[in-house]
Amino acid sequence: MTEESKGFDKEPDVPSDAAESESATPDNEAAKAAGSADEAEPAAPAGDANQITALKAQLDQSRSALTERTADLQRLQAEYQNYRRRVDRDRIAVKEVAVANLLTELLPVLDDIGRARDHGELVGGFKSVGESLETVVAKLGLQQFGKEGEPFDPLVHEALMHSYSPDVTQTTCVQILQPGYRIGERTIRPARVAVAEPQPGAAGKGEDEADEESGGPDEG
């Protein structure tokens, strides 16, 4: 009995394969998997960097496209504003031309009304019609000009008669034969006038009289 009990005290020999299989427990396998994952982690940052670079490139392209589209929109807005201003200017010009043509056709009627007034014939119903017409054309912007005694201006006056007068010192409108008419700054008919100029020699005579009053011309 004593020898047999000594024999049982010895640990039995276990094959190496069995030992390895015993060590391959689930905990060991998880540890190995974690270790392999840790070893694979250094490759991840390279992929993230490439993705970030691609996103930055896309962002730059989007910003460039946005800048181009914004510039195109601003250019279109400027062109549209210029177009609107041009259309408004053309519309005003067409309106002014149409009004000027209409009023030009009415000028002979206004001349008749003016002559009737000068001769005291603008009375009764004719007077009411004439004054109403003058009010309407005034609302349309028609203005009458031309007065006796004002200097002659070839831009707004048309001289139909010419004479000399000692009472003027420059070419002067001495009679208004037909008044002129304008719309704003646009003259649709010049004033037809009779003009008078200073008499020839009047300027020399005035200088001689001035010399006599001053004691005569200076002698050398």
pLDDT at residue 29 in the model = 56
Residue spans of the chain under pLDDT 70: 1-47, 202-220
Nearest C-alpha neighbor of 196 from the set 214, 175, 171:
171
pLDDT at position 49 is 82
Spell 153-187 as b/e; 16+ CB within 10 A means b.
eeebbbbeeeeeeeebeebbbbebebbbbbbeeee
pLDDT of residue 204: 52
Q: For residue 126, give the nearest of 143, 109, 102, 141 by alpha carbon.
A: 109
Strands of 157-165's sheet in order across: 157-165, 191-198, 172-178
What pLDDT score was predicted for residue 19?
45
For the segment 71-114, what is each residue's pLDDT rounded down to a tens digit?
Answer: 999 999 999 999 999 999 999 889 888 999 999 999 999 999 99
DSSP line for 151-163? BP-TTTEEEEEEE
**Predicted TM-score of the model (pTM):** 0.56
CATH number of 143-213: 2.30.22.10
Query: Which string of DSSP letters, residue by residue, matches 2-37?
Result: HHHHHHHTSPPP--HHHHHHHH--HHHHHHHHHHHH
Tokens of 97: 């031309």
Q: What is the predicted pLDDT for the residue at 37?
A: 47
